[in-house]
Amino acid sequence: MDTRRLKYFVQIVEDGSISRAAGHLNLSQPALSQQIRILETEMATPLLDRTSRGVVPTPAGRVLFARAQQILNDIERVRHDIANSHRTTHRATLGMAPTVMPVVGVPLLRRFLTEGNVTFRIAEQGSLQLLDMLRKRLLDFVVVPHFARIDNVKTELLYRDRLHLFAPAAWNLPPEMNLSEVAELPLAHGSEPNVTPELVHEGLARSGVTANIVAELDSLPSIRQLVREGYVATILTDWGFESDEGVSRIRLTPAMERSIYLYSRTDRKELQFVREAIVEIGKSVG
């Protein structure tokens, strides 16, 4: 049986007209009618009833219509599977700091969800925890604001993030503040060890002042909530705080920034294309 004739038959039943189906199939009406007569001969039964309004399937034609749709769909799926049989699906495990995930993780997922050749597992934790998991070979890549040297791991600067003060809008602070002025504000940050608090302490120390830390929290969402509710301010990157009408973003002087590093296991050469994609995303940020 020629599957083309099944396709022609399905098109005729769907259109309810041989002439309309001929137009959709780019065939002449006589040629299409001849193909249907051949199909009816093969099936040894009439498949279509001709009426003044067009054509309708006979009882045998209704059975063939349903089966033909299944057959044509199966053939299309087989073609799709064969066309994609040469593609290998890889599995990659990544670790990213919470403020890095929107910058690198989400664009990376968008890219490979479209291409469909990588399955990702992404752990979102603190820098030191992720680096420890990398040392234990539990992760293939880590992107964090912390520098370290690890055996059999390639370390490279990915991009730099500028830090800003985020404070309740009700405080009516100026758009730019000196670090000595910031030291007078009640601040909340992540608990130690955490790279951003270290930068804050070091930056304030260089200005000869000490930070007024009133809360150390492991939860970034909780810090955001406290800022929105007017209790504290915090120092984060733009990516660490969503835009909010109730929160002011304030420039710091002197400027403070942190470096984001990419760690890649050297024994996972088959995932080199993932590393290249992360580097490309990092360049677009920097």
Q: What is the pLDDT along the chain (286 residues), one digit of tens a residue?
A: 788 999 999 999 999 999 999 999 999 999 999 999 999 999 999 999 988 888 999 999 999 999 999 899 888 888 876 766 656 678 899 999 888 898 999 999 998 887 767 889 999 888 888 999 999 999 999 999 888 899 999 999 999 988 899 999 999 999 999 988 888 899 998 764 455 667 777 777 777 778 888 988 877 788 889 999 999 999 888 776 766 678 999 999 888 888 999 999 999 999 999 999 999 999 888 6
Q: Is the peptide bond before 186 cis (omega within 30 degrees of 0)?
A: no
Range of the domain at 99: 90-158+261-285
Residues 6+ apart with CB under 8 A from 58: 45, 46, 47, 48, 49
Judge contact between 10 and 69, C-beta under 8 A: yes
Residues composing the chain: 286
Quick one: tokens of 182? Answer: 């910031």
186 and 230 housed in the same domain: yes
Q: How much is the pTM? A: 0.61
**CATH code for position 276:** 3.40.190.10
169 and 253 housed in the same domain: yes
**CATH code for position 168:** 3.40.190.290
Name the DSSP letter for residue 229: T
Distances (CA, A) of 140 to 76, 108, 158, 249, 272: 37, 14, 16, 35, 11
Name the DSSP letter for residue 145: S
Domain boundary among 53, 83, 113: 83
H/E/C letters for each residue in 173-200? CCCEEEHHHHCCCCEEEECCCCHHHHHH
Domain boundary among 83, 113, 146: 83
148 and 218 housed in the same domain: no
Domain boundary among 64, 83, 102: 83
